[in-house]
Amino acid sequence: MLTFFSSWCTTCASSQAALSELARSYRDRVVFVGVAGADQADEVQDYLRAHRVEYPVVLDDQQTIWRSYAVREPPAVVLVAKGGALLRGWPGGLDAPTLDQRLRELVLADKP
């Protein structure tokens, strides 16, 4: 799962704790990766420390990954299957309970 964010995005910041909790909950079944764009490396580092982001994050300073998934502004969430196929994307992101439900439906449908 790719989570697109920027350090200056207040919506991203307000939902980060819940997103990190989901990443911990699904750590054995879903790989979370943050994609920071439209940002400066030092500001992203400050954001990661302040919000205790525990999953890997890449700095997409040229917004190449953002453009690949048609992300225009943060936040956005993209679910990618093994092998790279796009399963679903949510421009504007999702609140944690809704994202949790979508992960259960799309990723864990065949598992208890």
Q: 33-37, 70-74, 106-110: lowest mean pLDDT where?
A: 106-110
Average pLDDT over residues 88-97: 93
- For 36-55, the three-class secondary structure string (H helix, E strand, C coil) is EECCCHHHHHHHHHHCCCCC
Looking at the domain assignment, is residue 111 inside a domain?
A: no
- pLDDT value of position 35: 98
Q: Which domain holds residue 28?
A: 2-101
CATH number of the domain to which 47 belongs = 3.40.30.10
Looking at the domain assignment, is residue 106 inside a domain?
A: no
Looking at the domain assignment, is residue 76 inside a domain?
A: yes
Looking at the domain assignment, is residue 20 inside a domain?
A: yes
**Count of domains forming the chain:** 1
Contact of 36 with 55, CB cutoff 8 Å: no
Above 80 in pLDDT, residue 110?
no
**Over the stretch 40-69, which tens digit does the pLDDT of each residue have?**
999 999 999 999 999 999 999 999 999 999
Query: pTM for the full model?
Result: 0.92
36 bridge partner residues: 5, 59
